[in-house]
Structure 1
Amino acid sequence: MVFAFAKDLNGARKGVMTTVLIEYMFLILGSTVIYRASGDVMKFELTPFWSYVAIGEGQTEMIQGNFLNIALGVPAGFLLSFIFIHRSWWKAALVGFVLSSVIELSQLVFKRGLCEFDDVFHNTLGCVIGYGVGVMMIITINKVRK
């Protein structure tokens, strides 16, 4: 409906995708911070890649957690590919890093989960992967149109 009345289709597309991205981030913030039970103390693990050490020590459940954190960033990156048309993967990485950092710091401040570097890394990686998938899709669609 928005596109039917838009004079500037690129601007309309960016506006819709930005709106969906903001809604997605509120959904993630809600599920990871707002609706999570509060704890008694601030929990954090800032050692980079500590989850890989734990996996090496036999805590294989960390593999699932890492993949889920990557998956959490993929939709945001995909949406960003329609916002940053000029294939700026580093912008997607920066947005993913900032959004993930906000979530992790919120978990720390409100004592609602474990604030950790690994989650920021994996969310950012997922964002870059999603951005890459979106760019490949846009390139393919443009080739088919021609």
Structure 2
Amino acid sequence: MSKRKKLLIAVFLIYIFIVLWLTLIDRQWGERRAMLMPFWEMRELITTDRKLYWSQQIGCNILMLMPMGFLLPCLHQKFRKLGSIFLIALIFSAAIEITQYFTGRGLCEFDDVFNNTLGACIGFIMWKKLSH
């Protein structure tokens, strides 16, 4: 295995640890909460005075999985299709949200899964543009 590949694997593992730290590990156990109404954050952004807060919530969820969409195709050829990235990001994000629900370590949200998956797809598109 080349040094470049080893470095990419190390960066990816550190990245995954950071995502898990932010979404699960560094949170306190609490009560189970869920908001499964689609796009409620977008409605809050449009209808409330807390535009900066909701922009940050939505934007950070998009940004959080962009590196996944960019790094996975660098690691292996089987991740060089948008459908693969979409499915992996969807499953990964849904797993985080389900874990947050059962552990009470966050609000389980449809919007987070949508925005995270969108971010991974954007990361993949960036990789595609830069790699060709």
How does the TM-score come out when normalised to structure 1? Answer: 0.79
Output the amino acid matched with 1:27: I
RMSD: 1.9
Unaligned runs of 5+ in 1: 5-11, 140-146
Q: Unmatched 5+ residue regions in structure 2? A: none
Q: Which has the larger radius of gyration?
A: 1
Q: Does 1:110 find its partner at 2:103? A: yes
Report the Cα distance in structure 1 between the residues aligned to 2:34 and 2:123, rounded to whole angstroms: 27
Counting aligned pairs with the same residue, the percent is 33
Contact 1:17 1:80 in 2 (8 A): no
**1:143 matched to which residue of 2?**
none
Letter in 1 for 2:54: M
- CA shift at 1:110, angstroms? 0.7
**SS of corresponding position for 1:120:** helix
Which residue does the alignment assign to 2:56? 64
Choose which of 108, 117, 134 in structure 1 pairs with 2:127.
134
Residues paired across the two proteins, number = 129
How far did 1:18 drift? Answer: 4.6
Determine which structure has greater relative contact order: mean sequence separation of CA pairs < 8 Å that are 6+ residues apart, divided by chain length: 2
Query: Which residue type is aligned with residue 32 of structure 1?
Result: T
Indicate if the aligned counterparts of 1:92 and 1:128 stay in contact, CA closer than 8 A: yes
Q: Deviations over 1:103-123 (max 9, x none)?
A: 111111110111100000000
1:84-133 Cα distance to aligned partner (Å, 9 max, x none): 53630110011111111111111111101111000000000000111111
Q: CA deviation at 1:34?
A: 1.3
1:3 aligned partner, one-letter code: S
Give the Cα–Cα distance (whole angstroms) in 1 for the partners of residues 120 and 7 of structure 2.
18
Asked whether the equivalents of residues 81 and 132 of structure 1 are also in contact (C-alpha less than 8 Å), the reply is no
What is the TM-score of this pair, normalised by structure 2?
0.86
